[in-house]
Structure 1
Amino acid sequence: MAVLDELLRALTSGRISVIDLTAPLTSDVPVLRLPEPFANTIGFSLEEISRFDDRGPAWYWNNIHTGEHTGTHFDAPVHWITGRDGLDVASVPPRQMIGPAAVLDCSAQVADDPDFLLETEHIREWESAHGPLPEGGWLLMRTGWDARSGDQAEFLNADDSGSHTPGISPDCARWLAEESALIGIGVETVGTDAGLAPTFEPAFPCHSLLLGAGKYGLTQLQNLALLPPTGVVLIAAPLPIVNGSGSPTRVLALIEQD
Structure 2
Amino acid sequence: MSLLPSVAEALTSGRVEIVDLTAPLSAETPVIQLPPEFAQTARFELEELSRYDDRGPAWYWNNFRTGEHTGTHFDAPNHWVTGQDREDVASVPASRLIGPAVVLDFSSQVAENPDFLLEVEHIEQWQAEHGPLPQGGWMLYRTGWDARSASQQEFLNADETGPHTPGVSPACAKWLGEEAPIIGVGVETVGTDAGAAHSFDPPFPCHAALMGSGKYGLTQLQNLAQLPPTGILLIAAPLPIVTGSGAPARVLALVERG
Range of TM-score over shorter length = over 0.9
Which whole-Å CA distance do the structure 1 matches of 2:184 and 2:235 have between them? 13
Which whole-Å CA distance do the structure 1 matches of 2:210 and 2:42 have between them? 25
Confirm or deny that 1:10 pairs with 2:2. Answer: no
Alignment partner, residue 240 of structure 2:
240
Confirm or deny that 1:133 pairs with 2:133. Answer: yes
Which whole-Å CA distance do the structure 1 matches of 2:2 and 2:11 have between them? 14
Q: What SS class does the counterpart of residue 171 from structure 2 fall into?
A: helix
Deviation at 1:77, TM superposition (A): 0.3
Instruction: Return the letter of the residue paired with 2:54.
Output: D
Deviation at 1:36, TM superposition (A): 1.8
Which whole-Å CA distance do the structure 2 matches of 1:176 and 1:191 have between them? 16
Which whole-Å CA distance do the structure 2 matches of 1:237 and 1:151 have between them? 25
Q: What SS class does the counterpart of residue 255 from structure 2 fall into?
A: strand
Alignment partner, residue 79 of structure 1:
79
Alignment partner, residue 19 of structure 1:
19
Confirm or deny that 1:205 pairs with 2:214. Answer: no
Alignment partner, residue 177 of structure 2:
177
Deviation at 1:2, TM superposition (A): 1.2
Q: What SS class does the counterpart of residue 134 from structure 1 fall into?
A: coil
TM value normalised by structure 1: 0.99
Instruction: Return the letter of the residue paired with 1:211.
Output: M
TM value normalised by structure 2: 0.99
Which whole-Å CA distance do the structure 2 matches of 1:131 and 1:209 have between them? 23
Alignment partner, residue 163 of structure 2:
163
Which whole-Å CA distance do the structure 1 matches of 2:209 and 2:141 have between them? 17
Structure 1 unaligned spans of 5+: none
Q: What SS class does the counterpart of residue 181 from structure 2 fall into?
A: coil
Which whole-Å CA distance do the structure 1 matches of 2:168 and 2:248 have between them? 22
Deviation at 1:106, TM superposition (A): 0.3
Alignment partner, residue 217 of structure 2:
217
Which whole-Å CA distance do the structure 2 matches of 1:190 and 1:36 have between them? 18
* Alignment: residue pair count: 258
Deviation at 1:20, TM superposition (A): 0.1
Q: What SS class does the counterpart of residue 124 from structure 1 fall into?
A: helix
Q: What SS class does the counterpart of residue 58 from structure 2 fall into?
A: strand
Structure 2 unaligned spans of 5+: none
Alignment partner, residue 45 of structure 1:
45
Instruction: Return the letter of the residue paired with 2:38.
Output: F
**% of aligned pairs identical?**
68
Deviation at 1:146, TM superposition (A): 0.1
Instruction: Return the letter of the residue paired with 1:20.
Output: D
- Over residues 171-225 of structure 1, what are the superposed CA-to-partner deviations in whole Å (9 max), with x where a residue is unaligned? 0000000111100000000000000000000000011111000000000000000
Q: What SS class does the counterpart of residue 194 from structure 2 fall into?
A: coil
Which whole-Å CA distance do the structure 1 matches of 2:209 and 2:7 have between them? 36
Deviation at 1:257, TM superposition (A): 0.3
Alignment partner, residue 121 of structure 2:
121
Deviation at 1:234, TM superposition (A): 0.4
- Over residues 133-163 of structure 1, what are the superposed CA-to-partner deviations in whole Å (9 max), with x where a residue is unaligned? 0000000000000000000000000011110
Q: What SS class does the counterpart of residue 9 from structure 1 fall into?
A: helix
Instruction: Return the letter of the residue paired with 2:232.
Output: V
- Over residues 208-247 of structure 1, what are the superposed CA-to-partner deviations in whole Å (9 max), with x where a residue is unaligned? 1110000000000000000000000000010110000000
Alignment partner, residue 95 of structure 2:
95
Deviation at 1:102, TM superposition (A): 0.9
Alignment partner, residue 55 of structure 2:
55
Instruction: Return the letter of the residue paired with 1:182.
Output: I
Which whole-Å CA distance do the structure 1 matches of 2:122 and 2:148 have between them? 24
Which whole-Å CA distance do the structure 1 matches of 2:248 and 2:135 have between them? 25
Which whole-Å CA distance do the structure 2 matches of 1:103 and 1:37 have between them? 36
